C-alpha cells in the first residue's frame, strides 16, 4: 500500500516556482507591498538603526502583521543590527527573521494511504472564496496527476450548486450534486461513496458559508464530518478553512472558532491580490498554529499557489515598482 505525497510527487509538475509565478505573487501582493514600502528610501545610508526600525515597525503594523509579532521582530532586529546599518542589511535581517517565523507554518504535504479517497472538506464564511478555491484546487490536483471529484455541499443557494458545476464542466471533472435545500451531509456522503466506487484520488467538498457565531450552522459542519466518517473511518482527511485576505486580522476570532469546532488541518488565504493587509497571514498563523496550505492571488484557475513561506516573504519584501 503506497503513501501519497500530493504536493511532492516525482512525476508531478515541479513545485519550485517559475519566475512567472513569483511575478504573479508579487503582483498579487502589490497593495500590501505598497503599505510596507511607503516612504522607505533606499538612499538613506546614513540613517540610524532606530529610525529605520521606526519605519519598519509602522510598516509592519499597517500591513496588519499584528503588534505582538511586530514587536518581537523589531526587538530582534535591534539586537542584530549595527548602529548605522545599510538599508539593504536591515531588509536582509528582517527577511531572515520573517522566514524563521513563517517556515514552521508551511506544510506542503498530505501523507495518506494511496488506497483511500483523500477527502478534503472546505469551510468558511460567505464570500471567502471557497467555491472558487475548490475550482482552482481541482485544477491543481489534476495537474498533479490525480483524479478529482467535487461535492456540491453548499445546498443553500441554487447558484452555488451551479457555480461548482461550471468549474467541474470546464475541467471535465464530475460533480455530485442534489437540488437546492437538500441535506448537505447527505450530498457529501453520496459523493464520498461515489468517489470510492470510482476509485477517485481526491474528493473536494464545498459547504455553505456561515459565521462562527451561527451555532446551528456550525453544528451542521460537525454533522458533515461525522457522516463522512461513516463512509470512511479516516475521513475527512483534511478540513481547510478559507479566509478572505481583505479582512486581515479581523478573521482571527472567526478562524479560532472554526478551529475549535472542527479541528482544522489547514488554512487557505484568498484575495491577497485585493488586500493591503497581507501581513495578517503572519499574525494569524502565529495565533492559530495551523499551516497555510495555499494562497489565492486572483480569480483565475492558475491564481492559486502552494504556500511557500520564503517565496511569500521574498515577494512581500520586494519593493514595488
Ligand X SMILES: Nc1nc2c(ncn2[C@@H]2O[C@H](COP(=O)(O)OP(=O)(O)O)[C@@H](O)[C@H]2O)c(=O)[nH]1
Minimum gap (Å) between residue 221 Cβ and Mg ion: 14
Binding to ligand X (CB under 6 A) within 289-308 occurs at: 296-299, 303
Distance of CA 257 to the CA centre of its chain: 17
Locate 251 and state its grid cell.
478573521
Q: What is the distance between the alpha carbons of residues 49 and 46, in angstroms, rounded to a whole number?
A: 9
271's contact among ligand X, Mg ion, none, with CB below 5 to 8 A by partner kind, is ligand X
Q: Decide whether 251 or 309 has the Cβ nearer to Mg ion.
A: 251
Cβ distance 28 to 297 under 8 Å? Answer: yes
In this chain, which of 67, 127, 145, 181 binds ligand X, going by CB under 6 A?
127
DSSP string, 83-129: SS--HHHHHHHHHHHHHHHHHTTB----EEETTS-EEEEEE-STTSS
Q: What is the distance between the alpha carbons of residues 266 and 253, in angstroms, rounded to a whole number?
A: 16
Taking CB under 6 A as the rule, does residue 209 contact ligand X? Answer: yes
Which range, of 5-13, 83-91, 130-138, 282-290, touches Mg ion by CB under 5 A? 130-138
In this chain, which of 132, 249, 277, 305 binds ligand X, going by CB under 6 A?
132
Which positions from 256 to 295 touch ligand X by CB under 6 A, shown as an x/- string?
--------------xx-xx---------------------
Helix or strand run (H / E) with residue 195: helix 184-197
Binding to Mg ion (CB under 5 A) within 155-214 occurs at: 160
Closest-by-Cβ residue to ligand X is 296
CA-based torsion, 271, 272, 276, 279: positive or negative: positive
Contacts of 320 (CB under 8 A, 6+ apart): 30, 33, 34, 37
Which positions from 84 to 123 touch ligand X by CB under 6 A, shown as an x/- string?
----------------------------------------
In this chain, which of 112, 131, 207, 254 binds Mg ion, going by CB under 5 A?
131
CA-based torsion, 281, 287, 289, 290: positive or negative: negative
Residues that bind ligand X (CB under 6 A): 124, 126-132, 209, 270-271, 273-274, 296-299, 303
Amino acid at each position: 500500500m503506497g503513501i501519497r505525497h500530493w504536493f511532492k510527487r516525482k512525476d508531478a509538475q515541479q513545485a519550485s516556482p517559475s519566475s512567472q509565478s513569483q511575478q504573479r505573487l508579487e503582483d498579487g501582493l502589490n497593495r500590501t507591498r505598497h503599505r510596507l514600502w511607503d516612504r522607505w528610501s533606499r538612499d538613506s545610508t546614513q540613517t540610524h538603526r532606530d529610525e529605520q526600525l521606526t519605519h519598519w515597525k509602522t510598516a509592519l503594523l499597517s500591513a496588519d502583521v499584528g503588534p505582538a509579532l511586530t514587536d518581537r521582530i523589531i526587538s530582534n532586529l535591534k539586537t542584530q543590527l549595527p548602529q548605522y546599518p545599510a538599508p539593504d542589511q536591515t531588509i536582509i535581517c528582517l527577511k531572515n527573521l520573517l522566514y524563521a517565523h513563517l517556515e514552521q507554518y508551511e506544510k506542503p504535504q498530505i501523507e495518506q494511504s494511496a488506497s483511500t479517497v483523500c477527502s478534503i472538506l472546505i469551510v468558511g464564511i460567505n464570500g471567502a472564496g471557497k467555491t472558487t478555491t475548490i475550482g482552482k484546487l481541482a485544477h491543481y490536483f489534476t495537474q498533479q496527476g490525480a483524479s478529482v471529484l467535487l461535492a456540491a455541499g453548499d445546498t443553500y443557494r441554487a447558484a452555488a450548486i451551479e457555480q461548482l458545476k461550471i468549474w467541474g464542466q470546464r475541467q471535465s471533472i464530475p460533480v455530485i450534486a442534489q437540488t437546492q435545500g437538500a441535506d448537505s451531509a447527505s450530498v457529501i456522503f453520496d459523493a464520498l461513496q461515489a468517489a470510492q466506487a470510482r476509485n477517485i484520488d481526491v474528493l473536494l467538498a464545498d459547504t455553505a458559508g456561515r459565521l462562527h457565531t451561527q451555532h446551528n450552522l456550525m453544528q451542521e459542519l460537525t454533522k458533515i464530518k461525522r457522516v463522512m466518517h461513516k463512509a470512511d473511518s479516516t475521513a475527512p482527511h483534511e478540513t481547510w478553512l478559507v479566509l478572505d485576505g481583505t479582512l486581515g486580522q479581523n478573521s482571527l476570532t472567526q478562524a479560532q472558532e472554526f478551529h475549535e469546532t472542527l479541528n482544522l488541518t489547514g488554512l487557505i488565504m484568498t484575495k491577497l491580490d485585493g488586500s493591503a493587509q497581507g501581513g495578517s497571514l503572519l499574525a494569524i498563523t502565529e495565533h492559530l498554529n495551523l499551516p497555510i496550505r495555499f494562497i489565492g492571488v486572483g480569480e483565475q484557475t492558475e491564481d492559486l499557489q502552494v504556500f511557500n513561506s520564503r517565496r511569500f516573504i521574498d515577494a512581500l519584501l520586494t519593493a514595488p515598482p
